[in-house]
Amino acid sequence: KQEVTQIPAALSVPEGENLVLNCSFTDSAIYNLQWFRQDPGKGLTSLLLIQSSQREQTSGRLNASLDKSSGRSTLYIAASQPGDSATYLCALPLNQAGTALIFGKGTTLSVSS
């Protein structure tokens, strides 16, 4: 059974700092890995989706890497801004038969100005 762990649970940084969020998973037979962002009391927004054959994906100041052999993914945020404050979740497919996801519990990021 796939388990997803995110460390740390919370992180506070000053504006402008570069930071890394971590996600680990127990079963390396994955099809893809996604990073989502959730603002308080709101739904989720997809940030990056990495296919199992890829090593990384980039979007603006965000870079996500995937290492299936070690069961790890990282989300790198460059030059953090107060608007980046949110909870970041990583998610893996439950199986290939559908689109259901298993989520980590997230890292809550606070960026102070």
Cβ proximity to other proteins: between 80 and 109 the closer is 109
Piece of 12-20, 62-70, 78-86, 87-95 that binds other proteins (CB under 8 A): 87-95
Terminal CA-CA length for the chain: 41
Percentages helix, strand, coil for the chain (3-state, rounded to 5) are: 5, 55, 40
In the region spanning residues 6 to 65, those forming contacts with other proteins, defined by CB under 8 A, are: 31-32, 34, 36, 41-46, 49, 51-52
Residues, the chain? 113
Cβ proximity to other proteins: between 80 and 90 the closer is 90
Q: Residue 56's Cα: distance from chain center in Å? A: 12
Considering only 2, 24, 103, 108, the residue that binds other proteins (CB under 8 A) is 103
Question: Which pairing describes strands 107-112 and 10-14: parallel, antiparallel, or unpaired?
Answer: parallel
Residues binding other proteins (CB under 8 A): 31-32, 34, 36, 41-46, 49, 51-52, 89, 91, 93-106
